Amino acid sequence: MYLIAGLGNPGPQYEHTRHNIGLEAVEQWGNSLGVTLGSLHFRSKHALVDYRGNKIVLLCPLTFMNKSGESVGDCIHHYNLEVDRLLVMHDDLDLPLGKIKVVRSGGAGGHKGVSSIIHLLGSSEFSRVKIGIGRPRHGEAVADYVLSCFYDDEKKLAEKVIRMAMKASELFVLEGVQAAMNHINCRRLTI
């Protein structure tokens, strides 16, 4: 069994914001598999799916970004999953929009949601899909930038990026993290 967690903030005011791109990728993957994330166990919306013979929990924490670890930790413990079966999808300011980086483990890189998961699990040995959102163009404060929607000229590219993040998740489940790294990390999407 695998756990694919998409980080973001709950509520309509955060829909389609840069900070929610991981959550959107997980929701869209669920939609493509014919499921809607619903059940509210683990302080999340989630669904248990079968993907090509693999059981997967698709999970979007509803604890707000900075407490993502509470939801992810509850789910990991409930299903008694090993940390190497966890893939976390989240936004990354240090990567440009159009670039995704799959990593096997590592620190939080300043991302509060990832930091919360590391803290609650007591381990950083889980894989991530870091989805580039770039930096502010117009002098916005970083906190405002991540909680705002993509610029108009970025929206089509953001849709492509979500599809590539979904592909990274598929590769992680079917072929492992190394295959996902090999296929995804060398790519750079453009409009």
19 given a catalytic annotation: yes
Nearest to 136 by CA among 94, 98, 102: 94
- Which residue in 19, 46, 90, 111 is the catalytic one? 19
Helical ranges in the chain per DSSP H? 21-32, 68-79, 112-121, 142-146, 155-175, 177-184
Using DSSP bridges, classify how beta strands 127-132 and 86-92 pair: parallel, antiparallel or unpaired. parallel
> What span, in angstroms and rounded, lies between the C-alpha atoms of 99 and 92?
10
At which residue do the structure tokens 């893939």 appear?
87
Structure tokens given for 81: 């999953």
The helix/strand/coil state of 173 is: helix
C-beta separation of 88 from 127 below 8 A: yes
Q: Which of 53, 68, 75 is nearest to 7 (CA)?
A: 68
Q: Catalytic site residues? A: 19
